[in-house]
């Protein structure tokens, strides 16, 4: 028995399709916020397409705001930034199929080297001198050279530098515990970095800049700042330490594409997991889990329409969600804000992360390719 009474669908002329808009002014403000916490050089980390916000847009805003370096995982990601005209130094630190010295040289990017094997393979290539950052494992067990192997790595780096195959231009680590916003938790990593940097100097490799902190360390623990901080999440408004209010740097909107007026007792969506408890209006948004709306979100999840928050009801489908707008009948074509920095009724990415039991990073990096991108 189908008890759904469907109102005629009104279609207006122009629809703004589901759109993720990047807000460079927020990136600018976030760089300024980090700057209030550190005098060290700021590297803007724009991996994973700038945490889903568009690597080039975020990088340009960050550099204009004073970031002196850029960071990406791969040389491929870095090349996109170079092609867009970004000229500041770029560091890359993940090389799943080995370091391609020619590609790094062609893009003019630095590479992180975290093991004797990796450096050996790099030295075996015939390419112009490669700029390397020696990567110490400061507690992640996720790449980087353990302290026990550091002297061997330095020995090889020395030989490579003498032969002009590489030039050591940085020493890096990465903090595992900085999100706790407790300097005590970072102390061992800081001590390890200091000792490793001394060893670099003692090995005759000069005093290249050292960098350890990401967003949390940059915002909460000056002892981790060294010469440079690598800030990614903070650029787009995420403070993983939960101690500093940053500016959300994107807004996700979708148009209402279908509305209906239904009686009490109407099941909504797959498995009828939600049943209306009163006569109400339903609005459909053309965006679902394939577009990054978390299917596992809690019943608290909602969107903003016309300045008010309305709940997402029933299961999130692959391509659609249904919103219960109560007494309000919004016209088809009305824009809903799924998340944004606006405050008030508009959910934030932190709200969505809470509703989905995850972190804001997965929300912003999970927005699918069908969603149109724009920059404010």
Ligand X SMILES: *Cc1c(COP(=O)(O)O)cnc(C)c1O
- Annotated active-site positions, please? 47, 270
Nearer to ligand X by C-beta: 234 or 294? 234
The reply to whether 140 sits in an annotated binding site is: no
Give the residue among 221, 237, 365 at the shortest CA–CA distance from 292: 365
Spell out a b/e string for 164-193, using b for 16 or more CB atoms within 10 Å of the CB, else e. Answer: ebbbbbbbbbbbbbbbbbeeebbeebbebb
Residue window 121-140: x/- pattern of binding to ligand X, with contact defined by CB under 6 A: --------------------
Cβ contacts of residue 227 below 8 Å, gap of 6+? Answer: 40, 41, 209, 210, 211
Nearer to ligand X by C-beta: 231 or 301? 231
List the interface residues with ligand X, window 232-261 (CB under 6 A): 232-234, 240
Q: How far is the CB of 43 from ligand X (least distance, A)?
A: 8
* Euclidean distance between CA atoms 62 and 47, whole angstroms: 13
State both tokens at 108: 């003019």
- Segment near ligand X (CB under 6 A), from 7-15, 201-209, 231-239, 263-271? 231-239
Backbone angles phi, psi at 362, to 5 degrees: -75, -25
* Euclidean distance between CA atoms 328 and 311, whole angstroms: 13
Nearer to ligand X by C-beta: 62 or 293? 62
- Segment near ligand X (CB under 6 A), from 117-125, 229-237, 351-359, 363-371? 229-237
Sign of the four-CA dihedral 195, 197, 200, 204 = negative
Backbone angles phi, psi at 309, to 5 degrees: -90, 130
Nearer to ligand X by C-beta: 250 or 253? 250
* Euclidean distance between CA atoms 196 and 156, whole angstroms: 15
**Residues in contact with ligand X, total (CB under 6 A)?**
12
Q: How far is the CB of 67 from ligand X (least distance, A)?
A: 12
Contact 226, 214 (CB under 8 A): no
The count of residues in the chain is: 376
The reply to whether 198 sits in an annotated binding site is: no
List the interface residues with ligand X, window 40-79 (CB under 6 A): 45, 47
Q: How far is the CB of 136 from ligand X (least distance, A)?
A: 12
One of 78, 171, 231, 305 touching ligand X (CB under 6 A): 231
Name residue, tokens 């903070």: 234
* Euclidean distance between CA atoms 153 and 120, whole angstroms: 9
Work out whether 214 is an interface residue with ligand X (CB under 6 A). Answer: yes
* Euclidean distance between CA atoms 225 and 218, whole angstroms: 6
Nearer to ligand X by C-beta: 232 or 248? 232
Work out whether 174 is an interface residue with ligand X (CB under 6 A). Answer: yes
Between vectors from CA 70 to CA 207 and to CA 75, what angle results, nearest 5°? 95
Q: How far is CA 249 from CA 12, 22, 121, 341, in A?
A: 30, 6, 40, 7
Q: How far is the CB of 236 from ligand X (least distance, A)?
A: 9
One of 225, 230, 247, 315 touching ligand X (CB under 6 A): 230
Q: How far is the CB of 61 from ligand X (least distance, A)?
A: 16
- Segment near ligand X (CB under 6 A), from 95-103, 228-236, 259-267, 331-339? 228-236
- Segment near ligand X (CB under 6 A), from 183-191, 200-208, 227-235, 341-349? 227-235
Q: How far is the CB of 224 from ligand X (least distance, A)?
A: 12
Q: How far is the CB of 55 from ligand X (least distance, A)?
A: 13
Residue window 76-95: x/- pattern of binding to ligand X, with contact defined by CB under 6 A: -----------------x--
Nearer to ligand X by C-beta: 43 or 123? 43
Nearer to ligand X by C-beta: 230 or 251? 230
Q: Calculate the CA dihedral of residues 257, 255, 52, 77 and round it to 10 degrees.
A: 80
Name residue, tokens 């050591």: 168
Q: Where do contacts with ligand X occur on this chain (CB under 6 A)?
A: 45, 47, 93, 174, 214-215, 230-234, 240
Residues annotated in a binding site for substrate: 142, 318
Residues annotated in a binding site: 142, 318
């Amino acid at each position: 028995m189908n008890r759904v009474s469907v109102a005629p669908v009104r279609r207006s002329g122009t629809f703004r399709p589901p759109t993720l808009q990047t807000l460079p002014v927020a990136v600018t403000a976030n760089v300024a916020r980090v700057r209030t916490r550190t005098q060290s050089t700021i590297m803007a980390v724009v991996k994973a397409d700038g945490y889903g916000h568009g690597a080039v847009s975020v990088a340009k805003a960050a550099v204009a705001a004073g970031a002196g370096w850029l960071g990406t995982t791969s040389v491929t990601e870095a090349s996109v930034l170079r092609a867009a005209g970004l000229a500041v130094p770029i560091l890359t630190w993940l090389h799943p199929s080995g370091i391609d010295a020619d590609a790094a040289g062609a893009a003019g990017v630095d590479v992180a080297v975290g093991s004797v094997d990796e450096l050996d393979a790099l030295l075996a290539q015939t390419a112009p001198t490669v700029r390397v950052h020696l990567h110490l494992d400061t507690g992640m067990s996720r790449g980087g050279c353990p302290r026990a192997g550091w002297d061997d790595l330095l020995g090889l780096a020395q030989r490579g530098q003498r032969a002009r195959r590489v030039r050591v231009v940085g020493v890096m680590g990465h903090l595992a515990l900085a999100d706790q916003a407790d300097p005590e938790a970072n102390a061992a990593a800081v001590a390890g970095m200091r000792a490793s940097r001394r060893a670099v100097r003692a090995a005759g490799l000069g005093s290249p800049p050292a960098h350890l902190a990401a967003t949390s360390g940059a915002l909460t623990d000056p002892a981790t700042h060294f010469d440079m901080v690598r800030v990614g999440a903070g650029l787009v408004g995420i403070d993983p330490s939960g101690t500093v209010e940053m500016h959300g740097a994107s807004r996700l909107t979708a148009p209402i594409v279908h509305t209906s007026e239904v009686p009490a007792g109407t099941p909504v969506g797959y498995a009828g997991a939600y049943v209306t408890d009163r006569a109400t209006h339903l609005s459909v948004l053309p965006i679902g889990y394939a577009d990054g709306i978390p299917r596992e979100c809690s019943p608290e999840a909602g969107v903003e329409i016309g300045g008010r928050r309305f709940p997402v009801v029933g299961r999130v489908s692959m391509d659609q969600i249904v919103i219960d707008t109560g007494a309000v009948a919004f016209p088809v074509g009305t824009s809903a804000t799924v998340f944004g920095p606006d405050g008030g009724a508009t959910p934030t990415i932190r709200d969505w992360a809470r509703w989905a039991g995850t972190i804001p990073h997965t929300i912003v990096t999970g927005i699918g390719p069908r969603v149109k991108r724009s920059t404010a």
